Structure 1
Amino acid sequence: MPSALLPIIAWDYQFAPNAQKSRNYLYITHTPFKICEQPFLLPRPALLSLGITYRRVPVLSIGKDVFCDNASFLDAMQELLEREGEGRALKRGGADRAFEAWGYRSFWVALASVPAGLVSKELGEDRRELFRRF
């Protein structure tokens, strides 16, 4: 089992959509992992103490390898699980990337419908450079 040799850590906060994607992948493949819950707003001291200044979550690690996006993390996990040969890797299909692109596009479209009253001053300040709407 690769996770026994290489500890897997999800550096995220639970309700982040991308965090759910990576966590669900790990759950469905029965891959043990640890969670280092991060604050919703910056700063994120645990990541900063490791020299990681990337602001988005999830940040995921497999052993000493750190991944700042789900696609590269999931590719690395698939490779590890396929090499393991115990049938825990998920089947891949040609539509996988298209479905992912649709999900991201849907998020950006939905973001525009968030009522301004739900955005606190602190959230607006934190997310201003990511989302021009704030």
Structure 2
Amino acid sequence: MQDLILHNYASSPFSEKLRLVLGHKKLPWKSVLVPPIMPKPDVVALTGGYRRTPVLQVGADIYCDTALICDVLEHVRPEPTLYPPHLKGACRIFAQWADSTLFWAAMGYNLQPKGAAFVFGKAPAGTAEAFGADRKAMSSNLVRLRPGDATSAYRSYLRRLANMADEHDFLFGMDPCVADFAAYHGIWYTRTQVPVLMDIFSATPSVVEWAERMAAIGHGAMTKLGAEDAIEVAKAAEPEAPGANLLIDSAFQDDHGLRLGSRVSITPESFGTEATEGELIAATRTHYSLRRHDPRTGVVHVHFPRLGYVLKAA
């Protein structure tokens, strides 16, 4: 097993989701810090275009999107499981809702003017404007809630989470599952990045108690790695053959009339819609894989979940 390298940045909510999953599974990992906004030349050298954070690198295999990365980490270390057998469908559906609907309500609340002023209050001049322009470009296909609407939705969702947290230590029982990690990261951002907005939790103390239990999981055994070192890791490695890597399903599922070996592009549906082009080497019921070459990395395989991504002929 090669090193697990997480390309992330400190205030990234989805990075926090995976940092906690790594801690929960007690997996050692290496942290490469990436810029929160473009340009991201080292990330793009690995992915071919995909720029969302985080990205997991294992040698010359690059895994995009936390939904897919959670499956990869589950395969690396099945216990403790993220997907309890009797709740596998329910917790996956909940996690998909939490990573989208709940997350965007939370961030619409978190980055209202008061929250944004706190986040960027001590940053160099122009930082807030650059961040806003970057996220506006990423959101061209996404309907964003206005702060008032986001606040109303976030309050309602927190009450629903409280109904679950009132019953158990975690949302679906006595142990955390993928639903907890997906629901936590937007709430983590409120608690740690914009504490001036913490009053929204006053009506749901059980959510606060649950969040404290989540935070206590920690990030596990992390060591730092430079971005250029990660590029060298990819260049020195050979990507795993399709079906032999950490994605255990391998049967070809053709829903697009595109054969393996075709030149294709893969693009997120709504947020951060930069395309990655390459040779289609896998299209299974859960994921796509592309083979591509970059002068800095050599040949890499880039993997995406099937859900939430658009596959087209290049």
TM-score, normalised on structure 1?
0.78
CA–CA distance in structure 1, aligned partners of residues 21 and 47 of structure 2: 26
Q: Which residue of 2 aligns with 1:111?
A: 107
CA–CA distance in structure 1, aligned partners of residues 138 and 12 of structure 2: 15
Do the aligned partners of residues 106 and 42 (structure 1) sit closer, same or farther apart at CA in structure 2, a change above 3 Å counting?
A: same
CA–CA distance in structure 1, aligned partners of residues 105 and 6 of structure 2: 27
- For the residue of structure 2 that corresponds to 1:129, the secondary structure is helix
Do the aligned partners of residues 52 and 11 (structure 1) sit closer, same or farther apart at CA in structure 2, a change above 3 Å counting?
A: farther
CA–CA distance in structure 2, aligned partners of residues 51 and 77 of structure 1: 19
Are 1:100 and 2:95 an aligned pair?
yes
Do the aligned partners of residues 57 and 115 (structure 1) sit closer, same or farther apart at CA in structure 2, a change above 3 Å counting?
A: same
- For the residue of structure 1 that corresponds to 2:11, the secondary structure is coil
Q: How does 1:26-105 map to 2 (within 5 A)?
A: 26-50=22-46, 52-82=48-78, 88-92=79-83, 93-94=87-88, 95-104=90-99, 105=101
Choose between structure 1 and 2: higher strand proportion.
Answer: 2
- For the residue of structure 1 that corresponds to 2:57, the secondary structure is strand
Q: Which residue of 1 aligns with 2:139?
A: 131
Count matched residues. 125
Superposed displacement of residue 24, structure 1: 0.8
Do the aligned partners of residues 25 and 69 (structure 1) sit closer, same or farther apart at CA in structure 2, a change above 3 Å counting?
A: same
- For the residue of structure 2 that corresponds to 1:50, the secondary structure is helix
In structure 2, runs of 5+ residues without a counterpart are: 118-127, 145-314
Contact residue 47 and residue 62 of structure 2 kept, 8 A: no
CA–CA distance in structure 2, aligned partners of residues 24 and 63 of structure 1: 22
- For the residue of structure 2 that corresponds to 1:35, the secondary structure is strand
CA–CA distance in structure 2, aligned partners of residues 51 and 24 of structure 1: 23
- For the residue of structure 1 that corresponds to 2:21, the secondary structure is helix
Do the aligned partners of residues 12 and 91 (structure 1) sit closer, same or farther apart at CA in structure 2, a change above 3 Å counting?
A: closer
Superposed displacement of residue 51, structure 1: 5.3
Superposed displacement of residue 6, structure 1: 1.6
CA–CA distance in structure 2, aligned partners of residues 75 and 57 of structure 1: 17
Contact residue 6 and residue 29 of structure 2 kept, 8 A: yes
**1:53-73 superposed Cα distances (whole Å, 9 cap, x missing partner):** 211100112232211111111
Q: Percent identity?
A: 28
Contact residue 24 and residue 80 of structure 2 kept, 8 A: no
Q: Which residue of 2 aligns with 1:85?
A: none
- For the residue of structure 2 that corresponds to 1:67, the secondary structure is strand
CA–CA distance in structure 2, aligned partners of residues 15 and 53 of structure 1: 22
Deviation >6 Å, runs of 4+: none
Matched letter for residue 107 of structure 1: F
Larger radius of gyration: 2
Matched letter for residue 9 of structure 1: I
- For the residue of structure 1 that corresponds to 2:5, the secondary structure is strand
Do the aligned partners of residues 63 and 96 (structure 1) sit closer, same or farther apart at CA in structure 2, a change above 3 Å counting?
A: farther
Matched letter for residue 112 of structure 2: P
